[in-house]
Amino acid sequence: MVVNTAPGRRSVRLLSLAYAIGVLGLIADYAAKTAALTFLDPLQPPKLLGGFVTLQLVRNPGAAFSMGENFTIVLSCIAVAAFAFVGGYLIPRVKHAGWAVAEGFLLAGVAGNLADRLFREPGPMRGHVVDFIELPYFAIFNVADMFITAAAVLIIWFVMFGKVGPEGGSLADKS
């Protein structure tokens, strides 16, 4: 008996979709951060939409809301593990287009912030993440953070209201 282990066309399309979103999201994050570093003055941040959005350039050694500023290397190790898990474990198993999008968004966000940790000052595994989008009464964030948040919203939506799990099949069948 011969077992066909080659992925089907649908699987290849879903893999391609997830990885393409990851790569394009990383490029968008890099371009936005490059523009922020080039054009924004941290001492004179522009206010947009009547002050609802402020483009406040900061370099964040910590995690969300600047937590863990003294644990940059630990955060970098967690980001490396998250990148490997999403890109090497989750995405190759995706069987649904919605989950491919969500996992692609997650890969883009993790990769964008990991790239800062690896390649920005003060050095590898200690690099500070470039943040520049500020909303009233909220943390300053970047495009990578937006991808991570969008992935979280989609994943929560699929788990709560979706009819399909990340590897295909009904969520009702998983109980």
Give the active site residues: 131, 145
Distance CA 21, CA 19 (A): 5
Distance CA 21, CA 134 (A): 25
| Residues in a beta bridge with 130 | 59
CB 129 within 8 A of CB 59: yes
| Residues in a beta bridge with 48 | 53
For residue 122, say if its preceding peptide bond is cis, omega within 30 degrees of 0: yes
Distance CA 53, CA 132 (A): 10
